[in-house]
Copies of this chain bind each other. A is one copy, B any other.
Amino acid sequence: MINSKPYVIGIDMGGTNTVFGIVDARGVVLASNSIKTRKHSNFNDYIDELSFELNRLIASIDAQEKIFGIGVGAPNANYFTGKIEDGVNLPWPTPIPFAQLLSDKMKLPVAITNDANAAAIGEMTYGAARGLKDFIMITLGTGVGSGIVVNGQLVYGHDGFAGELGHVIVKRNNGRLCGCGRTGCLETYCSATGVARTAREYLEMSDTPSLLRELPIDEITSKDVYDAAIAGDKLAKAVFDYTGQVLGEALADFTVFTSPEAFVIFGGLAKAGDLILKPIRESMEKNMLSIWKGKVQVILSELKEADAAVLGASALGWEAKPMAAPEATIAPEATATV
C-alpha cells in the first residue's frame, strides 16, 4: 500500500529566521520558505503567521492531504513537554507551548526537539550517520550543541534535556566564563565564539605577526580566523589547532560514556574542514583510552547546509503523534519512544 501521507514538514526556528519546508520520505525538500522569528510580540501571532505560510506552501504543491506530521527544531525545545523551556533568547515568555499551539492550528501531529537533536535525527535519516546505531552529533555554531544516539535511539534523558555536551567543564581552573554562568564549559572554547575568543587571547598574549592584527580586535569572528588560516596565517592556524585539541580531548572523554562509532561534526565551524578535523582527530587519538584507539571516526555532516536544519526537523515529523487535548498533561511515557 502506498502511504497516503507521503510528506512531512520540517521547521527550523532560529533566533532570527524560521525556515520551513515540505520534505518527502527520501529527504528531498519539495518546497520551502521562511518568516522572521521576532516580528510578533505575541507568540500566538507568530503561530498564526507560521500556519498561514505553511498552508500556502502546502497548497503551492497540492499537498493538502499528504502531510504526515510536523517536526520542529528550536532552541531549548523539549521533546517530552512539546514546549520551548526557560533560558532562551526569544521575545516571548517561556515555557512556550509550541507543539500544542501549532498542532491545534494545523490539525496535524507536531513533535519538537532542540536544534542539535534535530540535526542528529536528520543525519541518521539522510546524512553521514545512515546505518549507524551509536553516534554523537556535535554542532559547532554560536554555541556547542549535541545530539546523542544510543542503539538507534536519540537520548532525551529523564526530563528531555540530555545531550548538553557544550556544557561539560573542560577547564576546571581558570576557565572562560560561559553564558550559563559557570566557567570552563566546552562551548567557551570550541564554538565559533570560542574560536574568536582564542584568537583575541593569542593576539593579546604574543607579538606573533598575523593578518588578524589588521582587524579591530573586538570584531574578529571565526570567519576572519578561518580566512586568515587559509591564507597561511600561522597564528590563525594555531587557533584552530588549539580548538581542535580541546575538542579532541573532550571527544575522547565522551567516548567512554556511550562508545559511539562516530562523532559527526556539524555547523559553521565544520566548514573549516581539515583545519579543524585534523587537530580534533590527533588530539582525540592521543587522549583515547587504549581499547578505543583507532576505532572511533570523526566525520563531517553530509547534510546540505541550506537544507540541513529543515531536513533534520522534518525527520522528526515522521515520529510526531497526535497531541492530547490542550489542557491535558502529556506524560513522558506517551511520547518517549523515538
Contact = CB atoms under 8 A, between A and B. Distances in A.
A130 interface: no
Nearest to A336: B151
Nearest to A286: B182
This chain: how many copies in the complex? 2
Chain A contact residues, majority secondary structure: loop
Interface stretch (A25-33, A159-167, A217-225): A159-167
A258 interface: yes
A241 interface: no
What 10 A-B pairs are tightest by C-beta distance, nearest first? A157-B259, A162-B259, A164-B256, A134-B158, A158-B261, A168-B253, A167-B289, A162-B258, A167-B256, A161-B259
Contacts of A133: 158, 336
Interface in A111-167: 132-134, 148, 150-151, 153, 155-165, 167
A291 B161 contact: yes
Interface residues on A, range: 35 or more
Contacts of A169: 249, 252-253, 287
A172 interface: yes
Interface string A297-337: 00000000000000000000000000000000000000010
A10 interface: no
Given A165-B257, A257-B148, A336-B151, A159 B295 contact: yes
